[in-house]
Amino acid sequence: MPSMIVISTTAIPDHVGGALSRWLIEPSPGLYVGTVSARVRDELWSVVSASVGDGLAVLVHAADTEQGFAIRTAGKRRRHVVDFDGLQLIKFAADERGGEAGSQELQVKL
């Protein structure tokens, strides 16, 4: 049974965007939306994840989970999907300096 999918991409090769636009619409640059079967969804995702290069991609699709959807990611990114008691949550990766990404240290001089 077909279901709606959303694929968000950043800095992917042009041929990957072309392959996605054959099956999905692109309402905004790098954002692809459509209704496809699970087989087509999996085939599209295998092409995207194998060709993402230095870019990144996120797939969100309907699934039989508590949240009602599943998330798949490919490429280098700061946000990682983690499973927490059956829920998919987003965790920020630590930055290069060893701190949490997005956190800032406040130094006060007295």
Residue 34's pLDDT band (boundaries 50, 70, 90)? Answer: very high
pTM value is 0.80
**CATH top-level class of 3-92:** alpha beta
Buried b (16+ CB within 10 A) or exposed e, 57-91: bbbbbbeeeeeebebbbbbeeeeeeeeeeeebeee
Query: Which run of H or E residues covers position 86?
Result: none
Q: Is the pLDDT of residue 23 over 90?
A: yes
CA atoms within 13 A on the CB side of 81: 14
Asked if the model's pLDDT at residue 95 lies above 80, the reply is no
What is the per-residue pLDDT across 55-94, written as a single tens digit (0 to 9) for each? 999 999 999 999 999 999 999 878 889 999 889 998 988 7
Residue 101 has pLDDT above 50, yes or no: no
